[in-house]
Amino acid sequence: MPFPAPPRRVVSLVPSITEALAETCPERLVGATDWCAHPGNLAVQRVRGTKNPDRAAIAALAPDLVVANKEENRELDVQRLRADGIPVWVTDIETVPSALESLGRLFGEVLHVGTPTWLATARDEWSGPVPEPTLEVAVAIWRDPWMTVGRDTFTGDVAARLGWRNVLAGSPERYPHVDLSALDRDGLTVLLPDEPYVFTADDGPEAFARSRTALVSGRLLTWYGPSLVGARAALRAAVLG
């Protein structure tokens, strides 16, 4: 996507990329979704949600670029924004390397701000081959009905790079519905993040009689951006103790 000049007014429809933009070039970020919670002091125009962005509010901001994601945002909204004459950069991220590469292109080739320090650090922390798994895990994302992380996801790749085997990675669906009995067995650790469902010490662990459970930060497990820095050590500490 060629630009006559580096975009100066950017709207982000992806919470993790919003955080990355706010950390790297905050003066260019003019709009974000209601779900963009980091950094905590973010003061930009809100444009509703990731699945129902307010196109009129976006257009009123006169952005040079809207940043979206294939999984987070609807193709229909991307098409409508483009039909309105608004350039949209769509990321397609399923692994840690693809996230780092995509963010590198966004900041280097599109925004022309170079490689952010946090991105260089994240590359160092997450480089290297995927280790042999030493722990079997399932990653719950919802309950009643129970849903988990399945195949071809960023979260699944994060788990793999921590040496954990996602037992639902062979599912035909990326986020399959599962029966609780499939998650409750000896030798399995069920990760219970605080997003999108807010699992807590009182809401989640009590459902399991045989599986071990671990409450983890959903941001560290599912976001790509500055949150990748330090996420490896923090996730290991939360799950392995």
DSSP letter string, the chain: ---SS--SSEEE--HHHHHHHHHH-GGGEEEE-TT---STT--SEE-B-SSSB-HHHHHHT--SEEEEETTTS-HHHHHHHHHTT--EEEE---SHHHHHHHHHHIIIIIS-----HHHHHHHHHH-SPPPPP-EEEEEEEETTTTEE--SS-HHHHHHHHTTEEETTTT-SSSS-B--HHHH--TTEEEEEESSSS--BTTBSGGG-SSSEEEEE-HHHHH--SGGGTTHHHHHHHHHH-
Domain stop point among 92, 109, 143: 92
To the question of pTM greater than 0.75 for the whole model, the response is: yes
Exposure pattern of 134-143 as b/e (b: 16+ CB <10 Å)? eeebbbbbee
Same domain, 76 and 152: no
Q: Tell me the C-alpha distance between 167 and 137, whole Å.
A: 6
Going by pLDDT thresholds of 50, 70 and 90, the confidence category of residue 2 is low
Domain stop point among 57, 92, 127: 92
Beta carbons within 10 angstroms of residue 17's beta carbon = 28
Inside any domain, residue 224? yes
Would the pLDDT of 233 be above 90? yes
Going by pLDDT thresholds of 50, 70 and 90, the confidence category of residue 169 is very high
Give the mean pLDDT of the chain: 96
**The length of the chain, given as a count of residues:** 241
Of 189 and 3, more confident: 189
pLDDT, tens digit (0-9, with 9 covering 90-100), for 105-140? 999 999 999 999 999 999 999 998 999 999 999 999
Same domain, 223 and 156: yes
Same domain, 147 and 204: yes
pLDDT, tens digit (0-9, with 9 covering 90-100), for 44-64? 999 999 999 999 999 999 999
| Average pLDDT over every residue of 26-30 | 97
Inside any domain, residue 115? no
Q: Tell me the C-alpha distance between 3 and 197, whole Å.
A: 39
DSSP letter string, 117-181: HHHHHHHHHH-SPPPPP-EEEEEEEETTTTEE--SS-HHHHHHHHTTEEETTTT-SSSS-B--HH
Beta strands 45-46 and 65-69 are unpaired
Would the pLDDT of 223 be above 70? yes
Same domain, 67 and 140: no
Beta carbons within 10 angstroms of residue 52's beta carbon = 13
Beta bridge partners of 29: 10
Q: Structural domain tally of the chain?
A: 2
Which residues span the domain enclosing 209?
A: 135-240
Inside any domain, residue 108? no
